[in-house]
Amino acid sequence: MKNLLRKIFGLDQLEEAVVVARQKLEEAEKSKQEVEASLQKALKEEELAKLTPKERATAKGEPWVAVLDTHVNKDNIRNGFFELDWNAEFVLQLKQAGYGFDGDPDEEIVDRWFRDLARNILGEEGQDTTRGAGFINVIPISKGKSEVS
């Protein structure tokens, strides 16, 4: 009897319409969330694109190092220096690889790595890796930057 009355007054169709409307609302909400997630991802990518390579790597928690400049002494071509820049993640990676310990200045840790790198390059080129490297002067410029000469 109850079902008959529902049909007579059209309540069954209204209930069905409510169910369909709720499903559409749920689908719309899901689509809205997907659009918002895509928008957030695009905004994050746009922000990352505005950053320098160092800032981008640091934001991602990745190690980063670069040679900013190379200087050669005009009077003595055998002398010169490289200006390096790095982030804290790179220093941590060097510590984990055995180039330094907590408390060591970042510049010394990077210098140990750089000397090792230079020796490896000499070895690959068949050069004497035991020859003296001369005096290497490390001058901290700012946090994460040093001048090595």
Summary mean pLDDT of the chain: 86
Q: What is the pLDDT of residues 115-139, one digit of tens each?
A: 899 888 888 877 766 766 555 566 7
pTM: 0.60
Q: Of all helices (H) and strands (E), which one includes residue 32?
A: helix 11-50
* pLDDT at site 147: 65
Q: Give yes or no for a contact between 96 and 82, defined as CB atoms under 8 angstroms apart.
A: no
Q: Which residue has the higher pLDDT, 57 or 45?
A: 57
- What's the average model confidence in pLDDT over 112-117? 92
Task: Please report which helix (H) or strand (E) contains residue 57, including its range.
Answer: helix 53-60
What's the first-to-final CA gap in the chain, in angstroms?
97
Q: Which helix (H) or strand (E) holds 148?
A: strand 145-148
Percent of the chain with pLDDT over 90: 52
What does the pLDDT read at residue 118?
86
What's residue 94's pLDDT? 97
3-state secondary structure 77-114: CCCEEEEEEECHHHHHHHHHCCCCCCCCCHHHHHHHHH
Please, are residues 35 and 66 in contact by the beta-carbon 8 Å criterion? no
The first and second tokens of residue 77, run together, are: 């071509």
Residue 86 pLDDT > 90: yes
Phi, psi of 87 (to 5 degrees): -115, 170
Confidence of residue 102 (pLDDT cuts 50, 70, 90): confident
Domain residue limits, the chain: 2-50, 53-148
What span, in angstroms and rounded, lies between the C-alpha atoms of 98 and 109? 9
- Residues of the chain with pLDDT > 70: what percent? 87
Residue 47, pLDDT score = 84
Residues 136 and 38: their CA atoms lie apart, in Å, by: 50
